[in-house]
Amino acid sequence: MRVRRVQSPAFMALLLLLLLISNVVHAQVTPDLTILNNFPNPFGNTCSTDGNPNASLEKKARNRLKSRFTIPSSVREMRLDEIVALPPNANGSTPSVNNPNQMIAVSVIGYVRGVYPGGTSGESCNCKATADRLVDTHIDVVLYPNQEENDPSGRGVLVVEVTERSRRLAALGLLDTNIGNNWSRSILKSRLRGHWVKFTGWLFYDDDHHTGSWRVDPKNKKGEGNWRATGWEVHPVVGIEVLPGRPADIPANKPD
């Protein structure tokens, strides 16, 4: 006769506790990157999400948006041209730090035409640091490479940016990516340029280049010379997926 073993409630409770402990031990916890160490800059060796300690309260608030390191719990899929079409309109002012669009994370697909260092003169968000390994990586993304890849005017360019906080999160294996955990500029350039890529990150409006976009200055007569389609960016990037080719729902040529 077979004896049926019945586990006691105490044994089951112990088993459940061990499983919970195992999950906690193996869980990946996003580190607190509010203050970056080993970040030499004119103000010292650290840099907070406020950026330049002498910046205005408004600038510090915008710096905190640029320096986000939280991984979004939800992401909205958007086409590149939908992001370009976001306000402000031709005569609009820059969106406030509390603008709803600044609070959402998006994924966008585009063709990478350029990867280069940004803010090498020392950006406020990076505490004026200028070291190549610390500054942001700017990535120019377009939707119609046949028309836009070699257009110096940047009419179709959406800028997405990888920050030092992005690089540190990637190095810890915390970000969704199919290019590995090394997000240094040289790696990004070798693996992204000339490819269709899906980027995930936080929407941010870079008011420093408000008049440098065709969306705001369609006649290119205001302030900074135009070099991009919009002031809206995906900044910071927290996910990178290189695609096998142009997605079927993106036409090869820009519609008339």
pLDDT digits (tens, 9 = 90+) for 169-205: 999 999 999 999 999 999 999 999 999 999 999 999 9
* Maximum pairwise Cα distance, the chain: 93
SS3 sequence of 202-214 = EEEECHHHHHHEC
What span, in angstroms and rounded, lies between the C-alpha atoms of 171 and 187?
Answer: 13
Give the per-residue pLDDT at 12. 58
Q: What is the DSSP letter of 156?
A: T
Query: pLDDT confidence of 16, banded at 50, 70, 90?
Result: low
Query: pLDDT confidence of 21, banded at 50, 70, 90?
Result: very low
Give the per-residue pLDDT at 8. 64
Residues 53-112: tens digit of each pLDDT: 999 999 999 999 999 999 999 999 999 999 999 988 656 789 999 999 999 999 999 999
Give the per-residue pLDDT at 66. 98
Check pLDDT > 60 for residue 138: yes
Q: Which of 66, 52, 226, 68 is nearest to 122 (CA)?
A: 52
Q: Which of 210, 95, 188, 201 is nearest to 180 (CA)?
A: 188
Partners of 158 in beta bridges: 141
Tokens 């061990």 found at: 18
